[in-house]
A and B are shown apart, each in its own frame.
Chain A
């Protein structure tokens, strides 16, 4: 992974100005509903997220990156539909589309690339992330790692604003998950050239329910 490491760090840094900071990855609602109360709960939440939505996002990012690198842009559309089919919650669909759009909008300014004009009008976030990785000459494996990292960093950063917790503990939880994340990203990367229909579909029904509740909340800190 020596080549392109800097570009991967640029793309997956939460400080990339693409609006990701406004989202908690479902954590705000999980806390409100009493499902996450302490650091052990947070770790379980992050593990659940990594092995479900995170693993799916990583596989789709890898596949989208592979499709862009191989100039199979028709596959990018199919991947987007397949991802949509794995996202039952209308609220989460909306969030994913919004984040995907924001990422591509930011990339037009940060790193103009001819691929932008040829991509479908709207893309879900993991698919957009894979495309952005390809624009930066990254590999599918990088795309998987980057999107998985982002999937967990969102809630891990949001937690300090949402409950009384030591920020070091939140990062310790992340550090303990590192081996699991490496395994998930490695598995995801094997889908780089796979038939879109065969990509994983690990569901997280509670996340879907929680996201719908959150969208209906009158007062909230995070958009999701």
Chain B
């Protein structure tokens, strides 16, 4: 039977509600790898499902299935019509149904991870789709990216600075990058990660465990990282800073 045939009516709420975690960040920073790492580390403790959002293909879903970190049917792809940003923020219906179907078909699930299609620094999830979100940067993008700000870097629930094993090859001072990011986030958590460093994987897993605890105790309140940050437009008079509201 296909997902479509077993799908609940559009109105019936899922039997069990999972903790829904979004994973956003620019192209190639390691969103899929972070999800694979989390599934590997936590699938003995939690029943997990994954939704990927691809732009042209279902490459990410295939990658995760090939990693064998979850039963293949618990990884599903949503096609975003070349607008990954829209699918996680302006029009979340496709993703919302995918999450609800997943929760219904594999009930009870503890966690559903939603990977955003790689976009730019402005793309963040709407809280109408997820309860908390990670924003993933990598050291290879340069040490100054964390200072560039934007809603994901500034206000995602967790900022991940990935691939720190590569730092020495790209002349990035990880400590400085973490410090810059922490400053840009008013003390919200920043995690330096490498899939090759077990300790960093343990820290990531612990963050998810704590989030899960807070979610169930009602302590965790989903927050919106917010609209696009104010930014600069050049014009004849030298330009101006504005916000999108």
Which residues of A does B touch, CB under 8 Å? 15, 17-19, 21-24, 94, 97-98, 101-102, 104-106, 108, 116-117, 119, 121-122, 158, 161, 218-223
Contacts and interface: CB of A to CB of B under 8 A. Distances in A.
21 contacts: A15-B90, A18-B91, A18-B93, A21-B86, A22-B79, A24-B81, A94-B4, A98-B4, A102-B97, A105-B93, A105-B96, A105-B97, A108-B10, A116-B11, A122-B9, A158-B81, A219-B56, A219-B57, A220-B56, A221-B82, A223-B81
Interface in B1-48: 2, 4, 7-11
A101 B7 contact: yes
Contacts of A219: 56-57
B94 interface: yes
Contacts of A161: 82
Which interface class (under 10, 10 to 19, 20 to 34, 35 or more) fits B? 20 to 34
A14 B81 CA distance: 13
B170 interface: no
Interface string B71-114: 00000000111110011001111101100000000000000000
Given A121-B9, A221-B56, A223-B81, A21 B91 contact: yes
A17 B81 contact: no
Contacts of B82: 161, 221-222
B129 to A, nearest CB: 11
Contact of B11 (A24, A108, A122, A223): A108
A19 B8 CA distance: 18
Q: Which of A21, A24, A117, A158 has the most CB of B within 10 A?
A: A21
A179 B62 CA distance: 47
Contacts of A15: 90-91
Nearest to A222: B81
Contacts of B2: 94
Given A21-B81, A219-B57, A104 B11 contact: yes
Contacts of B4: 94, 97-98, 122
A214 to B, nearest CB: 11
Q: Which of B8, B79, B93 has the most CB of A within 10 A?
A: B93
Q: Which of A23, A121, A158 has the most CB of B within 10 A?
A: A121
Nearest to B96: A105
Contacts of B9: 119, 121-122
B91 A116 contact: no
A122 B94 contact: no
Contacts of A94: 2, 4
Given A102-B94, A106-B93, A23 B81 contact: yes
A15 B83 CA distance: 13
Contacts of A23: 81
A119 B97 CA distance: 18
A218 B58 CA distance: 8
A121 B7 CA distance: 9
A154 to B, nearest CB: 10
Contacts of A101: 7, 10, 97
